């Protein structure tokens, strides 16, 4: 795990565009957030609603700190 994840303050995180998508099912954004001292991996997909309004659909998964990949 890198210094960014080690030093991430509770209630904070970040998401970044995925630039090397291999297929359309992969998220458009990914990142990390820390809540109550636990690290979560975030994935986001840009979608459009019925009235063509743009929004971000999210998936959040708890990760053990030992399993955290590099940011």
pLDDT in tens, 28-57: 999 999 999 999 999 999 999 999 999 999
Q: What is the pLDDT of residue 68?
A: 58
Q: 39: burial class by Cβ within 10 Å (0-12, 13-18, 19+)?
A: buried
Q: What is the pLDDT of residue 22?
A: 94
DSSP letter at 11? Answer: T
Whole-model pTM?
A: 0.81
Where in the sequence is the domain holding 37, given as residue range(s)?
A: 3-20+27-67
Q: Give the pLDDT band (50/70/90) at residue 15.
A: very high
Contact at 8 Å (CB) between 8 and 32? yes
C-alpha distance from residue 48 to each of 12, 13, 14, 51, 67 (Å): 26, 24, 22, 8, 33
Is residue 65 pLDDT above 90, yes or no? no
Q: What is the pLDDT of residue 71?
A: 45
């Amino acid at each position: 795990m890198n210094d960014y994840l080690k030093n991430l303050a509770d209630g904070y995180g970040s998401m970044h565009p995925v630039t090397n998508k291999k297929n359309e099912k992969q998220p458009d954004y990914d990142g990390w957030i820390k809540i109550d001292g636990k690290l979560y991996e975030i994935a986001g997909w840009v979608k459009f609603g019925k009235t063509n309004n743009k929004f971000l659909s999210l998936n959040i998964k708890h990760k053990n700190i030992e399993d955290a990949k590099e940011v």
